[in-house]
Amino acid sequence: MSNGGNVRENDTLKPMDSKQLREYGHRMLDYLKDLLPDAAPEQPENFQHVLDDITKKIIPGLTHWQSPNFFGYYPGNSSIAGFLGEMICSGLNVIGLSWITSPASTELEVIVLDWLAKLLNLPDQFLSTGHGGGIIQGTASEAILVVLLAARDKILERIGRNSMDKLVVYSSDQVHSSLKKACQIAGIYNDNFRIIKTDASSGYGIDPLNLDQAVHVDIEAGLIPFFLCATVGTTSSASVDPLVKIGKITEENAMWFHVDAAYAGSACICPEYRHYLDGLEYVDSFCMNPHKWLLINFDCSTLWVKERSALVNSFGTNPDYLKNKMSQQKNVVDFNDWQIPLGRRFRSLKLWMVLRLYGADKLRGYIRNHINLAKQFEQLVRSDSRFEIVCPTLFSLVCFRFLPYNNDNDDDGYELNSQLLDAINSTGQLFFTHTIISDKYILRFAVGAVLTEERHIREAWKVIQNQATIISNNHIL
């Protein structure tokens, strides 16, 4: 929570010591506990009182992801069409246990995932008309877990369950942490998780030679490479792995190839960014999050697979109480066989409404506008010699840092940049976040809120410059 507890202005100019950190941390954790009763009411309460509490107690404790001055993490878009879709979904509250529990809910999902696949120009292997198809999962983390489990079961089916400890997973060091979590759940531990190091020379994408070498070393050691996750638009810096070159390696070695484009996938509805997905013909599964940057309210993570049977083999259960003629005759899609939970929300409604009420052309314009704004911000950073751009701005994320003006700390500006970020966010005028790449503390400015306009970018930059000046002056004095 930003500005949670009256941080004194001067405190923002130096890092917190551990006593202060404990004090502020406690105040933040106790924020709601002190404001609300410790048990639910016995009798119904007045609606106006509840609403007053939302305004006075809940909203001040939230981070405002829909603010035009929100530039943190990656965006989490909301839109009127998405909101209306959510409202209808909530009102109807159909629970899609299987096709027969609400046929239109499943069928709309199949249709709308084909629509989106066509907008992204995905290879035909991912369309429902062949052996593949798409499904809406809650998050990209769920999607990666589901495909990792399916890939694991597929290979173990072939080589035997007792080969589990020979299975090896590969990714770059820029992969999202959800892969590590998925590996832990799937029973693949650190010894069998190869993290290929990246650096600035390859734009923080995987070097295929390093990958190929790692795969061969493992094969020679009697291990079995079986899963690779590449990313288009990594979490830290929006870097892109070279899919075609990686695809040749996964094909040669019969590995499951997953592509995570949670953030940048949305940009690929524009033909000029689609080339980042070249190579998807090699891919077994592909995921992007319309709930990040395609105007769909959370949650909506779209996953396509080449072989839907791989998911059904891992997740199909067919209990007696769900048996019905349509499912038994395999005439219909039962999405509960493609995912972890049984019940599912009618999430395709909001995706369908956004696509219909805005249309592909407007959506492309929406994405392009954010990318243009990010480029403008990048130009502003470049025009001030106290800052540097750290990696290319491929989409709407700008990675930059304040250059150290002395070597007192000998930490290459780590403390300075972290101090600057705290000082800027403490103004309450904008919010953005950081990452660490190659041991450097990097400031991440992610454009993508629906309401952000050019003036917000200019004003944000002014605040950043002013705080940088205060910090440098303070140091000199």
- Which range in 4-12, 96-104, 260-268, 320-328 contacts ligand PLP by CB under 6 A? 260-268
In angstroms, rounded to a whole number, what is the distance separating the alpha carbons of residues 117 and 125?
Answer: 10
DSSP 232: B
Q: How far is the CB of 227 from ligand PLP (least distance, A)?
A: 16
Among 126, 170, 227, 263, interactor with ligand PLP by CB under 6 A: 263
By beta-carbon proximity to ligand PLP, the closer residue of 141 and 285 is 141
- Which range in 21-29, 133-141, 411-419, 431-439 contacts ligand PLP by CB under 6 A? 133-141
In angstroms, rounded to a whole number, what is the distance separating the alpha carbons of residues 239 and 235?
Answer: 8
Among 120, 246, 262, 460, interactor with ligand PLP by CB under 6 A: 262
By beta-carbon proximity to ligand PLP, the closer residue of 141 and 266 is 141
Rounded to 5°, the CA angle 397-360-398 comes to: 5
Q: Which amino acid does the sequence have at 320? A: D
**SS3 category, 106:** helix
Assess contact for 174 and 234: CB atoms under 8 A: yes
Q: Is residue 241 near ligand PLP by the rule CB under 6 A?
A: no
Place of tokens 């009127």: 80
By beta-carbon proximity to ligand PLP, the closer residue of 234 and 339 is 234
Q: How far is the CB of 345 from ligand PLP (least distance, A)?
A: 15
In angstroms, rounded to a whole number, what is the distance separating the alpha carbons of residues 12 and 130?
Answer: 58
170 has which bridge partners?
194, 228
Kindly determine how many residues on this chain lie close enough to bind ligand PLP according to the rule CB under 6 A.
15
By beta-carbon proximity to ligand PLP, the closer residue of 300 and 416 is 300
Q: How far is the CB of 229 from ligand PLP (least distance, A)?
A: 9
Closest among 318, 316, 362, 351 to 110, alpha carbons compared: 351
Q: How far is the CB of 179 from ligand PLP (least distance, A)?
A: 9
Token pair in block for residue 23: 């004090």
In angstroms, rounded to a whole number, what is the distance separating the alpha carbons of residues 464 and 477?
Answer: 20
Token pair in block for residue 349: 């409604």
By beta-carbon proximity to ligand PLP, the closer residue of 285 and 467 is 285
Which residues have C-beta within 8 Å of that of residue 81, sequence separation ≥ 6? Answer: 295, 350, 353, 354, 356, 357, 358
DSSP 299: -
Q: How far is the CB of 355 from ligand PLP (least distance, A)?
A: 20
Closest among 132, 69, 450, 399 to 291, alpha carbons compared: 450
Among 12, 145, 171, 176, interactor with ligand PLP by CB under 6 A: 176
Q: Is residue 289 near ligand PLP by the rule CB under 6 A?
A: yes
Which residues have C-beta within 8 Å of that of residue 69, sequence separation ≥ 6? Answer: 429, 430, 431, 449, 452, 456, 459, 460
In angstroms, rounded to a whole number, what is the distance separating the alpha carbons of residues 215 and 125?
Answer: 26
By beta-carbon proximity to ligand PLP, the closer residue of 141 and 297 is 141
- Which range in 55-63, 134-142, 201-209, 457-465 contacts ligand PLP by CB under 6 A? 134-142
- Which range in 187-195, 233-241, 334-342, 366-374 contacts ligand PLP by CB under 6 A? 233-241
In angstroms, rounded to a whole number, what is the distance separating the alpha carbons of residues 322 and 99?
Answer: 10
Among 102, 139, 372, 426, interactor with ligand PLP by CB under 6 A: 139
Q: How far is the CB of 368 from ligand PLP (least distance, A)?
A: 21
Q: Is residue 74 near ligand PLP by the rule CB under 6 A?
A: yes
- Which range in 87-95, 98-106, 228-236, 459-467 contacts ligand PLP by CB under 6 A? 228-236
Q: How far is the CB of 93 from ligand PLP (least distance, A)?
A: 23
Q: How far is the CB of 63 from ligand PLP (least distance, A)?
A: 15
Assess contact for 317 and 337: CB atoms under 8 A: yes
Q: How far is the CB of 439 from ligand PLP (least distance, A)?
A: 21
Contact flags string 433-472 toward ligand PLP, x per CB under 6 A: ----------------------------------------
In angstroms, rounded to a whole number, what is the distance separating the alpha carbons of residues 282 and 286?
Answer: 11
Cα distances (Å, whole numbers) of residue 164 to 154, 167, 256: 12, 6, 15
- DSSP letters of 349-393? HHHHHHHHHHHHHHHHHHHHHHHHHHHHHHHHHHTSTTEEE-S--
By beta-carbon proximity to ligand PLP, the closer residue of 139 and 309 is 139
Among 114, 218, 260, 378, interactor with ligand PLP by CB under 6 A: 260
Binding site for ligand PLP (CB under 6 A): 74, 139-141, 176, 178, 231, 233-235, 260, 262-263, 289, 301
